[in-house]
């Protein structure tokens, strides 16, 4: 557009309207190019990084700076790019209401220097404006207190105005005015205010662009570390800043420093220097230590013009990253509620960080969980966690974090709260007459020549008899496709049995009684869930002992398998013709194998915590072995040592010497009976003196 510049003498205000000119502008984003355009009829988005703030008229303009809202929110619109009414640059602003506006704070003002304030204004034939514009100025001192003008009056001093009614349409006009920075001024607020001095304040649009504050600026700026920065775990050895003065001016500077004390009266000068402006990347060597707040500022003196700027106080801190951790608690554990239906857990924790940082406890899920105390300090982050009554086992994730706005949780534990008396029995195969599950309804099918007979049993009158290597029971349950088998098309185990009544999915127990006289192959399945887990015997030596496996070392499960084996020196091969109980447990942290009531193997490994592989094919009882199996149980919790022992005894388990032989078991057959007495009686007369080396039997002393 061909633009015409008009000069109008505003005698009453002592300011003139002059043609636009390139100025040494100390405003940020003077052309409003950084304003975000949200649409032709949408308000501009105000971003502090542009330097501009909303300004709402409220009488006393000293307290009307707001970052959002205030006055009429419709006050200021960004013009759509390429609009024909624009100034040569891409964007301008426009107003349609009175008593609103925007402004910018400019620091580094030099007392006694003259500053020119100007703005390009416009209104168009298409929308003649009734909204007036004013440039107003408010001076502030180092304490950010506004300075009243000479002779009193409003703090916001009018230096120029634009009345659309007095100016031609379709013509950009520059309004301008000068002021001298008063004593003690260190900053100025440049305000564009819409008014209704001559118009009615409503209707049409008044456009404005190219805001200018022209004058010297003397200041230190751009501190590094940044003002307010938290240097977690970092100790800087220098601070850095820039100095802004008119180009070519000589300047001196002094650096002041304080540790943990923001009172400027207690700052110490730690350095001085000089240069020619403008200058960037000035540095000062400093010594810092961890866990302190540091305060500093830089005074700048423009030697050329005699302008002095007292620096803004900047701060940073050097604290170790806030941290918290739970101490002396296993990653996963079971907590049984008492007879009253409540349970509590005292959790020790440790935390560190900046003063004022708190230790925050969180439970997922949170319902029914309370913390005592509800808010913990870094000095004492310990807490008692109280759990309300649960009807079924419920897993809670407890987390502690040191939270000052920048820290994340770094420690969790999982607590399985279990109702009083709950044993988690989910399936029981008693083999009294068939392969039915008498607890959960996961009934099995006899495969091959497997049968249930009453010739021998550990509990009750019947047991499962596997007479060939292909005899077993399979439990398909209600299954879904198993993605782990996608790489093996046509494999027979393409379903995942869905044990919906496994309440806790990060642990379980499987147990079975087994009786065998000879193994004819290198491995036997006793109770297995294929990829998921297996209670079995495995090894090239037919006399190898039992084991319990969780997981499987396949490409589809990169975590591999975790196996607990019978590692006791007194090993029973299971082929002695006696009934033996095997129990496997997984509690989320450890795989355990029990034989005849005693813990025989344990492997600590949390690979499967909260993701126990229950799937991987159907449940199978027996296979690859000639044996009897009885009382197969599945629990959805990991039984404790005492619970395993109680089950062993309740099933009629006796003569267990898995840990050591009794002192009276002279023939080491795991039983004290007449056979042991016979050994004593046979040599009774020969062994009247225990010091006699010919004695073959030593009678235990009380």
Name the least confident of 193-207, 259-273, 415-429: 193-207
Give the chain's radius of gyration (CA, Å).
43
Q: Is the pLDDT of residue 303 over 90?
A: yes
102 secondary structure, DSSP code? E
Q: Is the pLDDT of residue 324 over 70?
A: yes
Bridging pattern class, strands 463-466 and 451-453? antiparallel
The string of DSSP letters for 619-683 reads EEEE-SS-EEEEEEEEESS---HHHHHHHHHHTT-----SS---TT-TT-SS--SHHHHHHHHHT
The count of C-alpha atoms lying within 13 angstroms of the C-alpha of 323, restricted to the half-sphere facing its C-beta, is: 10
Q: Is the pLDDT of residue 583 over 50?
A: yes
415 in Cβ contact with 394 (< 8 Å): no
pTM assigned to the model: 0.56
List all residues 6 or more positions away from 70 whose beta carbon is below 8 Å from its beta carbon: 54, 55, 56, 58, 64, 100
List all residues 6 or more positions away from 151 whose beta carbon is below 8 Å from its beta carbon: none
pLDDT of residue 100: 73
Which band of pLDDT confidence, cut at 50, 70 and 90, is reported for residue 18?
A: very low
CB atoms < 10 A from the CB of 248, how many? 9
Which band of pLDDT confidence, cut at 50, 70 and 90, is reported for residue 322?
A: confident
Bridging pattern class, strands 369-372 and 343-352? unpaired
Q: Supply 170's token pair.
A: 């379709």
- Of 538, 529, 544, the C-alpha closest to 632 is 529
Q: Cα dihedral angle (247, 253, 258, 262), rounded to 10 degrees?
A: -60
pLDDT of residue 106: 93
- Of 106, 137, 130, the C-alpha closest to 205 is 130
Residues shown for the chain: 702
For tokens 């070519």, name the residue: 248
Which band of pLDDT confidence, cut at 50, 70 and 90, is reported for residue 587?
A: confident
Please tell me the distance from the alpha carbon of residue 525 to that of residue 534, in angstroms, as a whole number: 7
- How many helices and strands, by DSSP H and E, does the chain display? 2, 48
The count of C-alpha atoms lying within 13 angstroms of the C-alpha of 183, restricted to the half-sphere facing its C-beta, is: 1
Per-range mean pLDDT, top range of 18-22, 70-74, 423-427: 423-427
- Rounded to a whole number, what is the largest CA-CA distance in the chain? 141
523 in Cβ contact with 536 (< 8 Å): yes
For tokens 């495969």, name the residue: 447
Average model confidence (pLDDT) across the chain: 78
The count of C-alpha atoms lying within 13 angstroms of the C-alpha of 178, restricted to the half-sphere facing its C-beta, is: 8
316 in Cβ contact with 231 (< 8 Å): yes
Q: 659-666: long-range contacts at Cβ-Cβ below 8 A with a sequence spacing of 24 or more? A: 659/568, 659/570, 659/598, 660/570, 661/570, 663/700, 664/700, 666/697
From residue 70, how far is each of 76, 208, 501, 622 by CA, in Å?
A: 12, 21, 59, 79
The string of DSSP letters for 129-160 reads ---EEEEEEEEE-TT-PBPPPTT---SSEEEE
Classify 50 in phi/psi space as left (phi over 0), alpha (psi -120 to 50) or beta. Answer: alpha
Please tell me the distance from the alpha carbon of residue 285 to that of residue 257, in angstroms, as a whole number: 11
Which band of pLDDT confidence, cut at 50, 70 and 90, is reported for residue 446?
A: very high
Which band of pLDDT confidence, cut at 50, 70 and 90, is reported for residue 261?
A: very high
pLDDT of residue 695: 60
95 in Cβ contact with 76 (< 8 Å): yes
Q: Residue 448, SS3?
A: coil
Q: Residue 447, SS3?
A: strand
Name the least confident of 269-273, 336-340, 428-432: 336-340
Please tell me the distance from the alpha carbon of residue 323 to that of residue 68, in angstroms, as a whole number: 36
Compare 246 and 196 and report the one with higher pLDDT.
246
Which band of pLDDT confidence, cut at 50, 70 and 90, is reported for residue 495?
A: very low
The 10s digit of each residue's pLDDT in 539-566 is 655 455 567 777 665 545 545 566 766 5
437 in Cβ contact with 427 (< 8 Å): yes
From residue 59, how far is each of 54, 70, 71, 99, 100 by CA, in Å?
A: 15, 13, 11, 10, 11
Mean pLDDT in residue range 24-49:
66
Q: Supply 460's token pair.
A: 């009750």
Q: Supply 521's token pair.
A: 């192959």
pLDDT of residue 389: 93
Q: Supply 421's token pair.
A: 């008396």
The string of DSSP letters for 506-533 reads T-EEEEEEEE-S---SSEEEEEE-TTSE
The string of DSSP letters for 295-336 reads EEEEEEEETTTTEEEPPPPEEEEE-PPPEEEEES--SEEEEE
């Amino acid at each position: 557009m061909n633009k015409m510049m008009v000069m109008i003498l505003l005698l009453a205000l002592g300011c003139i309207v002059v043609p636009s000119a390139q100025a040494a502008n100390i405003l940020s984003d003077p052309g409003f190019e950084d304003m975000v355009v949200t649409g032709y009829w949408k308000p501009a988005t105000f971003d502090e990084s542009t330097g501009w703030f909303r300004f709402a008229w409220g009488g006393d303009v000293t307290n009307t700076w707001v970052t959002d809202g205030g006055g009429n929110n419709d006050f200021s619109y960004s013009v759509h790019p390429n609009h024909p009414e624009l100034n040569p640059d891409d964007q301008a602003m426009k107003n349609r209401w009175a008593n609103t506006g925007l402004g910018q704070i400019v620091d580094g003002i030099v007392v006694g220097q003259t500053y020119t304030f100007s703005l390009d204004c416009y209104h168009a034939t298409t929308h003649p404006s009734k909204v007036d514009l004013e440039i107003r100025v408010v001076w502030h001192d180092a304490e950010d207190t506004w300075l009243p003008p000479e002779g009193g009056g409003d703090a916001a001093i009018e230096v120029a105005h634009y009345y659309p009614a007095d100016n031609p349409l379709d013509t950009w006009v520059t309004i301008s005015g000068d002021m001298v920075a008063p004593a003690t001024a260190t900053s100025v607020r440049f305000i564009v205010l819409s008014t209704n001095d001559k118009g009615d304040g409503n209707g049409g649009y008044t456009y404005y662009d190219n805001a200018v504050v022209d004058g010297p600026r003397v200041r230190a700026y751009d501190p590094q570390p940044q003002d307010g920065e938290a240097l977690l775990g970092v100790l800087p050895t220098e601070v850095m800043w820039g100095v802004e003065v008119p180009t070519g001016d000589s300047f001196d500077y002094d650096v002041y420093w304080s540790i943990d004390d923001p009172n400027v009266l207690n700052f110490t000068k730690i350095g001085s220097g000089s240069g020619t402006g403008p200058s960037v990347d000035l540095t000062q060597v400093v010594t810092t230590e961890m866990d302190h707040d540091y305060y500093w500022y830089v005074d700048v003196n423009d030697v050329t013009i005699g302008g002095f700027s007292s620096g803004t106080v900047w701060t940073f801190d050097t604290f170790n990253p806030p941290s918290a951790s739970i101490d002396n608690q296993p990653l996963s554990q079971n907590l049984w509620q008492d007879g009253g239906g409540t349970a509590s857990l005292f959790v020790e924790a440790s935390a560190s960080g900046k003063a004022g940082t708190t230790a925050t406890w969180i439970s997922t899920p949170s319902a029914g969980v309370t913390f005592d105390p509800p808010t913990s300090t870094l000095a004492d982050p310990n807490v008692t966690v109280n759990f309300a009554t649960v009807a079924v086992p419920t897993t809670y994730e407890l987390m502690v974090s040191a939270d000052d706005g920048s820290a994340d949780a770094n420690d969790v534990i999982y607590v399985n709260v279990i109702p009083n008396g709950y044993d988690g029995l989910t399936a029981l195969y008693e083999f009294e007459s068939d392969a039915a599950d008498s607890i959960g309804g996961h009934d099995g099918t006899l495969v091959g020549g497997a049968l249930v007979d009453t010739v021998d049993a550990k509990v009750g009158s019947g047991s499962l008899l596997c007479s060939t290597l292909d005899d077993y029971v399979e439990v398909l349950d209600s299954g879904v496709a198993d993605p782990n088998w996608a790489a093996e098309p046509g494999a027979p185990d393409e379903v995942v049995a869905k044990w919906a009544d496994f309440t806790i999915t990060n642990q379980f127990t499987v147990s079975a009684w087994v009786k065998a006289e000879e193994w004819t192959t290198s491995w036997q399945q006793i109770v297995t869930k294929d990829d998921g887990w297996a209670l079995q015997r495995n090894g090239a030596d037919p006399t190898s002992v039992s084991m319990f496996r969780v997981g499987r070392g396949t490409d589809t499960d990169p975590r591999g398998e975790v196996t607990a084996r019978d590692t006791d020196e007194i090993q029973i091969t299971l082929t002695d013709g006696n009934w033996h109980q095997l129990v496997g447990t997984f509690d989320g942290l450890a795989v355990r194998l029990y034989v005849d009531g005693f813990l025989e193997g344990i492997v600590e490994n949390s690979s499967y915590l909260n993701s126990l592989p229950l799937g991987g094919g159907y449940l199978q009882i027996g296979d690859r072995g000639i044996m009897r199996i009885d009382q197969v149980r599945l629990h959805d919790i990991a039984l404790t040592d005492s619970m395993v022992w109680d089950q062993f005894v309740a099933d009629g388990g006796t003569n267990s010497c898995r840990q050591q032989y009794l002192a009276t078991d002279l023939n080491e057959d795991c039983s004290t009976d007449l056979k042991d007495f016979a050994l004593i009686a046979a040599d009774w007369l020969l062994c009247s003196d225990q010091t006699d080396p010919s004695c073959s039997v030593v009678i235990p002393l009380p």
